[in-house]
Amino acid sequence: MIKVFLKHGRDESLRRFHPWVFSGAVAQVQGSPAEGDIVGVYSAEGQFLASGHWQVSSIAVRILSFDADPTAPDFWVNSIARALAVREAVGLVEQSMSSATTCFRLVHGEGDGLPGLIIDWYDGVCVMQAHSVGMFRARTQICEALRTVFGERLKAVYDKSSGTAPFKAGLELVDGYLWRAEGFTASETVVLENGRKFLVNWEEGQKTGFFLDQRDNRALVGRYAAGRSVLNLFCYTGGFSIYALTSGAVRVDSVDSSAKAMSLVERNIALNSTPGSGQLPQETSGCAGPHRCASLAVPPLTVPRVARFPGAVAAPSSPEFNNFCEDAIEFLKKTPEGKYDLMIVDPPAFAKHRGALKNALRAYQRLNAAAIAKVAPGGLVFTFSCSQVVDKITFANTVFSAAAQTGRSVRILDRLCQGADHPVSIYHPEGEYLKGLLLYVE
């Protein structure tokens, strides 16, 4: 194994189990590792500290182990089994066919001691994204380990790293199946999350196909949705909308600028409503097809669409729903004050890196000020940021500035974060990327 020696005094963070070695901390490399090779990291005094994947970037080594040998034959099986044990511990792994949740994040990068690796489980289909060259190069071993750990429960392993592996490494990736059970040809499946049905298409969908990190926050929306008029901004597959519709909301409007996302919302609403009830949409209010969507500014429906949702006990009658393929910020601008008394504001990461932070914070502030200004008196706003570089204090300060801008009285009822299947290593606080606030606006 090639040896990487650190500069004097730069071993502190590794001794505290932080999983990254920055290139500036490296004094000397014995030999010339290829990108993705496993290297040993040593202190200036020559003491072994850890081993991990070498990469030509500001993070030079992503640590895989502080003790075990990551080249050992059972390393990947053990690592996947340990990640699975965490999900089992919080009751996410289906024990039987009657499980209410059949999807979860199986491997969450640093949070599972596997920097650069994401694996999501969709009812037997594992969708993998490598964010590092080393993880990409290990994909066959990872796939074999998944087969060993899951046995017959595994239906397919899909590698979706083309958009996530480092572009500069010139790997020229093409997404594809690493393994499929005999006869398995699907590219989408219906998963259950807390009893709600969602269509996941891992080949075409954003990220691995579904935003699993919002599961608990969606359930919280379900808890507060009864009797409310709900606006779900940046809705993607309509996760929050489905919980609101099935929990007694009187009206749910969903907005996303992506035509593909809006067609998924339509399909998910249909999946969760009672067959044959209401006037389920064939022709939609927002998106009749990708060709029309991008430029279509859709007026609210004159004839609301309604559907019956089993379990929506609190609704006095079937809820009304409308789907809009539009820019969420423009939508908010023309939203009359007081029309909605529960809003969800879950935009994409406005800051993808530190350099974009200042502009991103301005954008979060504008967006939140608009939502707080428009929500009905006594209304709730669920507001989120998934930008890793915006920490929770900065986000809270930004929402504070937004509230102050509106002059309304705002209370924080709850502080929200990613679900338990997106664990954060205590030694790597940067892993806590999703943060949210539940606001009560007087």
Residues binding ligand SAH (CB under 6 A): 206, 211, 214, 234-237, 239-240, 255-258, 261, 327-329, 346-348
E strand residue ranges, 300-365: 305-306, 320-325, 342-345
CA-nearest of 26, 142, 116, 10 to 63 is 116
DSSP codes of every residue in 50-75: EEEEE-SSSEEEEEEESSS-TTSTTH
Cβ-contact 377, 340 below 8 angstroms: no
61 vs 437, beta carbon nearer ligand SAH: 437
Q: How far is 360 from 390, CA to CA, in rounded Å?
A: 9
- DSSP-H helix ranges across 138-289: 139-150, 215-224, 239-245, 259-272
Q: How far is the CB of 344 from ligand SAH (least distance, A)?
A: 7
114 vs 370, beta carbon nearer ligand SAH: 370
For CA atoms 203, 102, 100, 107, give the dihedral sign. Answer: negative
Q: Report the half-sphere exposure of 157 (CA within 13 A, side-chain side).
A: 24
11 vs 253, beta carbon nearer ligand SAH: 253
CA R_g for the chain = 23
Q: How far is 91 from 424, CA to CA, in rounded Å?
A: 18
237 vs 394, beta carbon nearer ligand SAH: 237
Q: How far is the CB of 228 from ligand SAH (least distance, A)?
A: 17
132 vs 258, beta carbon nearer ligand SAH: 258
Q: How far is the CB of 264 from ligand SAH (least distance, A)?
A: 9
76 vs 324, beta carbon nearer ligand SAH: 324
Q: How far is the CB of 238 from ligand SAH (least distance, A)?
A: 8
Which residues lie below 8 Å from residue 39, measured CB to CB, with a gap of 6+? 1, 2, 3, 4, 29, 33, 51, 52, 53, 54, 61
Q: How far is 136 from 176, CA to CA, in rounded Å?
A: 13
Q: How far is the CB of 345 from ligand SAH (least distance, A)?
A: 9
Q: How far is the CB of 232 from ligand SAH (least distance, A)?
A: 7
Q: How far is 237 from 161, CA to CA, in rounded Å?
A: 21
158 vs 243, beta carbon nearer ligand SAH: 243
Q: How far is 20 from 29, CA to CA, in rounded Å?
A: 16
Backbone angles phi, psi at 342, to 5 degrees: -150, 120
C-alpha of 180 from chain center: 25
Q: How far is the CB of 233 from ligand SAH (least distance, A)?
A: 7
161 vs 254, beta carbon nearer ligand SAH: 254
Q: How far is the CB of 262 from ligand SAH (least distance, A)?
A: 9
60 vs 345, beta carbon nearer ligand SAH: 345
Q: How far is the CB of 48 from ligand SAH (least distance, A)?
A: 42
